[in-house]
A and B are shown apart, each in its own frame.
Chain A
Amino acid sequence: MKLPTLRDVGTEAKLLLIGIPVFIWTMVPIYHMFVFAISPKEDAFAGKLWPDHPTLHNFHIVFYQEHYFLRDFWIQFWNSTVIALAVGALTLFVATAAAFSISRLKVPGGRAVMNLALFTYFIPAAFLAVPMYRTMGNYGLLNNHWSLILAMVTIASPYAIWVLKQASDKLPVELDEAATMDGATTLQLFRLVYLPLMMPSLVAVGTYAILLAWNEYLYAFLLLSKDTDITLPVALGNFLAADDSPWELLMTTGFIYALPPAAIYYVFKRYMVGGLTAGAVKS
């Protein structure tokens, strides 16, 4: 074995000098949340770096809804899940149809629609929140899950269409021509040729929409208000209403809430990195 030279050690030390602060910076808020989740109240509020008596009791309280703030935990979890899945499915439907129409069928005006969608994508969602809230009121959809689902589909689909259009522009035109020569109708072309080839991008876009909806706080708290209607992030925000909030339970619930998106992200990472980051910024 070759001994490392002084120069190698120096480079490694310099890299560690960057790596260690990066590690601490990244992990501190997450570690803090985790420590709270496994701490009894006294330990948590004593600001201990590690609890004297780590316990899973907080998870027990959350899962059995044994606290005033948590009495609707499971129904809120269910709301979050249903809304996220519905947004994922609807966004996929709307965006795939639109991308196929614009990119493969070259529908007249398709380019203009693409530009309008891109324009929507770049308006910060927080700026659209107030008019969206009033609009949902006018439509009579406030406090109805459909308001949040439709709002999130509106926000998710522009980017979804754009990513799918980029991906479908890369498919060779000859494919469509060959299928049409063999007598395929447009719908068969869509179902049997287009969808299978687009699978990786569809997974990326569906995941993107689901995560966006699961993570959304602002729209959820504007559009839904009843305790049994709200999603988990709104419920987390509601903990702040009281002065003596049970922060250890808030952090436990937050930890449970953060797990599914983190897991989904890591499972679909290869799709996300290929499909989304490359598409996010084209230099």
Chain B
Amino acid sequence: MAITLSASDVPSPPLSARLTPPQVWGIVLLAPYLLVFLAFVVYPVCYGLWLARHPASYVALYNDPIFARAAVNTLIFLVIGINFKMLVALFLSGFFIQQRGWIKWLSVLFILPWAVPSIPTILSVRFMLNPEWGMVNQVIFKLTGDDGPNWLNDPTVALTMAIGVHIWKSLPFWTLILMTGRLAIPNDLFEAADVDGASWWQKFRFITWPSMQVLYVTCSLLSMIWTLGDFNSVYLLTGGGPADLTHVLSTLGIRYLRLDQLSLSMASIVCAMPFVLPLIYFMMKRLSR
């Protein structure tokens, strides 16, 4: 009987011998993050998907008017909130790069909404909109003698206010980012345009916008992901009310959790994935270059 020696019978050198010391250190230093990632990202995600495995959950979601309402609200929140916010940020970034002493000071204050935590400021807005004691309705009463609207009791107005709070909070950040984009445009382009007698619109249309459109679109997409996850603006201002009509997807999951409908909670998040994953894919392509 012939003895055949295949390559696999020869003991391969142990893993540690094949790695250089820096590589060993590389693995050791990468280990803490990998542990965190496995324990607090991989496991929860898999567990969440497992909880959301029953088709019955999706049928229940489909039949729940609050879910449909939340999906529509999320869409409104995204489309109106982001476009409005980014357009204003684009406009204000042009304002804040003006060389003026007072504009410098204003920009320091303008960052405040981004720098302070959102909870106290959102609650401040919430009381401001209180129909009886809030400052807004008191001012309306003093000026016109009429009672102001019951701001947070009408779903449309309440959602608009939540979008407003979201914009208030995140506008400074995006303005700052778009400012860096504007400042990167070489100034001689504008000087040449001035010599040619270009109007401000022509300067924007043919110089500013072409150099900023990639940044603008990237910012809009990133803002979309973050806005999808904006829990505080809705939850702390309206609490999802009145009558659960102002929920968005990020607050709906918590609502189901509080009602002990865990599988519905997970299923509602899974339903958002077809929208989120393409965005994530696109952003990763942008950033991992």
User: Please, what's the 1-or-0 string for A23-62, where 1 marks a CB less than 8 Å from any CB in chain B?
Assistant: 1011111101100100000000111110000000000000
B157 within 8 A of partner (CB): no
Asked if residues A130 and B219 are in contact (CB atoms below 8 Å), the reply is no
Q: Within the assembled complex, what's the spacing in Å between the Cα atoms of A12 and B65?
A: 52
Q: Within the assembled complex, what's the spacing in Å between the Cα atoms of A18 and B96?
A: 10
**CB nearest neighbor in A for B165:** A29
Query: What range describes how many residues of A lie at the interface?
Result: 35 or more
Asked if residues B280 and A280 are in contact (CB atoms below 8 Å), the reply is no
- Chain B interface, >50% SS class: helix
Q: Which residues of B have CB within 8 Å of A81? A: none
B124 within 8 A of partner (CB): yes
Q: Within the assembled complex, what's the spacing in Å between the Cα atoms of A262 and B276?
A: 31
B125 within 8 A of partner (CB): yes
A126 within 8 A of partner (CB): yes
User: Please, what's the 1-or-0 string for A210-250, where 1 marks a CB less than 8 Å from any CB in chain B?
Assistant: 00001101100010000000000100110110000001001
Given A107-B30, A277-B173, 16 extra CB contacts under 8 A: A36-B127, A47-B133, A93-B32, A116-B37, A118-B284, A119-B280, A122-B280, A124-B250, A131-B44, A157-B36, A217-B232, A251-B124, A254-B123, A261-B115, A273-B176, A281-B222
Closest 6 CB pairs of A and B: A124-B229, A254-B120, A47-B138, A107-B26, A131-B48, A105-B26
Binding site for A on B (CB under 8 A): 21-23, 25-27, 29-30, 32-34, 36-37, 39-41, 43-45, 47-48, 51, 92, 95, 98, 100, 102-103, 106, 108-113, 115-121, 123-125, 127-128, 133-135, 137-139, 168, 172-173, 176-177, 180-181, 214-215, 218-219, 222, 225-226, 228-232, 235-236, 239, 250-251, 253-254, 257, 262, 265-266, 269, 272, 276, 279-280, 283-284, 286-289
Binding site for B on A (CB under 8 A): 15, 18-19, 22-23, 25-30, 32-33, 36, 45-49, 93-95, 97-98, 100-102, 105-108, 110, 113-120, 122-135, 138-139, 150-151, 153-154, 157, 161-162, 185-187, 190, 214-215, 217-218, 222, 233, 236-237, 239-240, 247, 250-251, 253-255, 257-258, 261-262, 265-266, 273, 277-278, 280-283
